[in-house]
């Protein structure tokens, strides 16, 4: 008779351990999911659309500067922005290197600079009006920027 209560206690302990592990896993997974999925999981943060585009009928002139040692990164950013309707008028290399991407409003249209920053997956935005550049937005592509994956067409 004494073996049954011991076996029952072991089962109860095993079930309790499994429940604790499941609760701990849920405690970790739910906040992570809310960061990825937005308001559905309880996040109150408003997110800009990931695939921001230039407004229809508006020409936003952009210059893209590669501020890294990675060859071709400005070209990839140029193609990405052009696919989204931005008019990239110049692509060149910056004098100094940067770790993070910076989008600079040159024409007094901060909304346009934020659209470009959003189209690049999020970047810092600064305002430095400069009419001698003849562009609306300057992008300094930093080393942390990763071009989005391109579709595979066999």
Report the predicted TM-score, pTM, of the whole model to 2 decimal places. Answer: 0.64
Q: Is 141 exposed, middle or buried (0-12, 13-18, 19+ CB in 10 A)?
A: buried
Q: Kindly report, residue by residue over 17-72, the tens digit of the pLDDT.
A: 877 777 776 666 655 544 444 444 444 434 444 568 888 888 999 999 999 999 99
- The confidence score (pLDDT) of residue 7 equals 76
Sign of torsion, CA 128 117 139 107? negative
Mean pLDDT, all residues of the chain:
81
């Amino acid at each position: 008779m004494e073996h049954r209560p011991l076996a029952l206690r072991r089962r109860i302990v095993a079930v309790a351990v499994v429940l604790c592990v499941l609760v701990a896993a849920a405690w970790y997974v739910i906040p992570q999911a809310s960061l990825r999925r937005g308001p559905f999981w309880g996040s109150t943060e408003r997110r800009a659309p990931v695939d921001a585009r230039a407004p229809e009928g508006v020409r936003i002139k952009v210059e893209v500067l590669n501020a890294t040692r990675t060859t071709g990164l400005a070209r990839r950013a140029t193609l990405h922005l052009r696919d989204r309707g931005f008019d990239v008028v110049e692509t060149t290399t910056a004098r100094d290197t940067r770790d993070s991407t910076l989008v600079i409003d040159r024409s007094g249209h901060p909304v346009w600079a934020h659209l470009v920053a959003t189209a690049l997956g999020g970047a810092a935005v600064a305002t430095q009006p400069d009419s001698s550049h003849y562009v609306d937005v300057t992008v300094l592509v930093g080393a942390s920027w990763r071009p989005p994956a391109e579709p595979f067409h066999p």
